[in-house]
A = this chain, B = another copy of it.
Amino acid sequence: PENFFLLAGPCVVESEDLVMTVADKVSGICKNLGIPYVFKSSYRKANRTSAGSFTGIGDTAALELLKKVRDTCHLPVVSDIHAHEEAAIAAQYIDMLQIPAFLSRQTDLLEAAAKTGKIVNIKKGQFLSGPAMQFAVDKVKQAGNDKVLLTDRGNTFGYQDLVVDFRNIPWMKEHGAPVVMDCTHSLQQPNQTSGVTGGNPALIGTIAKAAIATGADGLFIETHPNPAVAKSDGANMLQLDYLEPLLEQLVKIRKAILPVG
């Protein structure tokens, strides 16, 4: 396809106002640039470092808001699920089920997601190689669902860093699934003494440009009008105002790598 697609939105469903604002703004930008857009937000955060961190406004309330974004803005919506019994529930509200990286080996979860018939976006575990994701793809396909995406979110590199191995983009494309680069979580700095994962949003553009140049089919970017007050992943989200100029440049890189004619 001519352009890459975008999965973007605030890390977690904080409020109706937030999701509608972001969906509306990003949708407008993407229409102008010819970028297929999928709204992303989590209805629950299930693996925060600390028990005291914000985990959501309630699953049903958040899923209802995601459905509202979908119906009002006419956008497909993706959110992550954390246990096999969530798959069928979430599938009533959204279009794409995302499997968190830590859970990318959990067979029950992959199969339950597959059986909903929705698109399944599997994040590559930080401990997995791109070639090994073949086995995760197979689990979904053998459960009867061919609509699989693979998303890279970096690899464990010592304790306080992740590193993106861009060789995984061509390697994962060989599995016959579109490959997405998560430009947000691949910049996380885990194992901080504070119990709050750090980040480096100034480098989101670096990861995104390298991903498009090396053939990624899609990008995943968490964005928020004001990351400093966000209730999760504030250290890593792109400020919403910076999204449009970044996407403009990425579209140019995409054109540069397309075959001529």
Contact = CB atoms under 8 A, between A and B. Distances in A.
A115 B36 CA distance: 45
Contact of A163 (B47, B155, B207, B215): B155
A129 interface: yes
25 contacts: A46-B106, A49-B105, A50-B139, A51-B135, A55-B107, A82-B108, A83-B108, A103-B103, A129-B159, A131-B191, A131-B193, A132-B159, A135-B195, A155-B163, A157-B165, A158-B159, A158-B161, A164-B165, A164-B166, A166-B206, A166-B210, A167-B203, A206-B215, A253-B256, A255-B256
Q: How many copies altogether?
A: 4
Interface in A111-151: 111, 125-129, 131-132, 134-135, 138-139, 142-143
A133 to B, nearest CB: 10
Nearest to A213: B213
Interface of A: 46-51, 55, 82-85, 102-103, 105-108, 111, 125-129, 131-132, 134-135, 138-139, 142-143, 155-161, 163-167, 169-170, 187, 190-193, 195, 200, 203, 206-207, 209-210, 212-215, 249, 252-253, 255-257
A203 B165 CA distance: 12
A255 B257 CA distance: 11
Contacts of A111: 51
